[in-house]
């Protein structure tokens, strides 16, 4: 299903230009397919959203722009952990949501590729909200985050997960979210919070792969 969504995203690309490339398992399949297009002669230059995406694209011979921009991105193709009926998103399962949001905001169009299991009526029904926090205020941030839901420090093999920037991630179990934009604003207002995984109004097209093919949803 993920491969179907990734391949469908190729139809959303211009003939050439600057492309934002996302992070995660579905995005990896898209980057692999994009590499085949570049190998066949298509001229794309990309902006990666994570170090993992950078390494994959570089190994495929895809030209990359510098990290600090400025960029004029025609289309960004990325995955999501949860998609609401309103096409709002939760991202950050891979810990790259801050960079993903920067690239998303620098793109003229944003195409999200998911399988049907990622779709919910409201955000928060199936996924916690990832929140990237600075290291030095970690204890106080946890206390403030807990006002919005159970806040769990993300661990891997018993050790805190670090983002590409070296920060920590809390997964905040908010439950079904009635007002995603308001929650995003409240979380980002906490001193020491770097960014949240809430992407409100930031998907132009969502490609949902299911048993009967790929459904194209637009805002």
Domains and their CATH numbers in the chain? 2-119+200-212 (3.40.50.1360), 129-196 (3.30.70.260)
Share of the chain above pLDDT 70, in %: 98
According to the model, what pLDDT value does residue 142 have? Answer: 81
Instruction: Locate 57 and state its tokens.
Output: 């694209």
Confidence of residue 137 (pLDDT cuts 50, 70, 90): low
Q: What is the mean pLDDT of the chain?
A: 95
User: By the 8 A CB rule, do 113 and 8 touch?
Assistant: yes
What pLDDT is attached to residue 138? 59
Residue 8 is predicted with a pLDDT of 98
Catalytic annotation, pick one of 100, 132, 141, 195: 100
At CA 111, angle to CA 54 and CA 32, rounded to 5? 40
The residue among 205, 187, 182, 208 whose CA lies nearest residue 197 is 187
pLDDT given for residue 139 in this prediction: 64
pTM equals 0.94
Confidence of residue 136 (pLDDT cuts 50, 70, 90): low
pLDDT tens for 191-217 read 889 999 999 999 999 999 999 999 999
pLDDT digits 0-9 by tens, 33-85: 999 999 999 999 999 999 999 999 999 999 999 988 889 999 999 999 999 99
| Nearest alpha carbon to residue 16 among 70, 75, 78 | 75
pLDDT for 97 beyond 90: yes
Could you give the angle at the alpha carbon of 33 between the alpha carbons of 14 and 211, nearest 5°?
Answer: 100
Q: Confirm whether 100 is a catalytic residue.
A: yes
Helix or strand (DSSP H, E) at 28: helix 25-39
CB 150 within 8 Å of CB 116: no
| Cα distances (Å, whole numbers) of residue 3 to 12, 113, 174 | 15, 9, 30
What's the pLDDT score for residue 5?
Answer: 98
Beta-bridge partner residues of 171: 130, 152
């Amino acid at each position: 299903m993920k491969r179907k969504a990734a391949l469908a995203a190729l139809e959303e690309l211009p003939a050439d230009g600057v492309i934002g490339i996302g992070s995660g398992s579905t995005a990896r399949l898209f980057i692999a397919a994009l590499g085949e297009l570049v190998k066949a002669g298509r001229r794309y230059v990309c902006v990666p959203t994570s170090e993992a995406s950078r390494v994959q694209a570089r190994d495929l011979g895809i030209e990359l722009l510098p990290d600090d921009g400025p960029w004029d991105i025609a289309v960004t193709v990325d995955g999501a952990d949860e998609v609401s009926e309103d096409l709002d998103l939760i991202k950050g399962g891979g810990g790259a949501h801050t960079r993903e949001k920067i690239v998303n905001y620098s793109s003229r169009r944003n195409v999200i590729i998911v399988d049907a299991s990622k779709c919910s009526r409201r955000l928060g029904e199936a996924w916690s909200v990832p929140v990237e926090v600075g290291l030095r205020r970690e204890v106080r941030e946890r206390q403030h985050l807990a006002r919005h839901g159970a806040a769990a420090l993300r661990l891997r093999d018993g050790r805190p997960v670090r983002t590409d920037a070296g920060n920590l991630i809390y997964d905040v179990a908010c439950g079904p979210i009635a007002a995603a934009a308001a929650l995003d604003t409240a979380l980002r207002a906490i001193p020491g919070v770097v960014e949240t995984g809430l992407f409100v109004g930031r998907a132009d097209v969502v490609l949902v792969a299911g048993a009967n093919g790929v459904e194209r949803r637009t805002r």
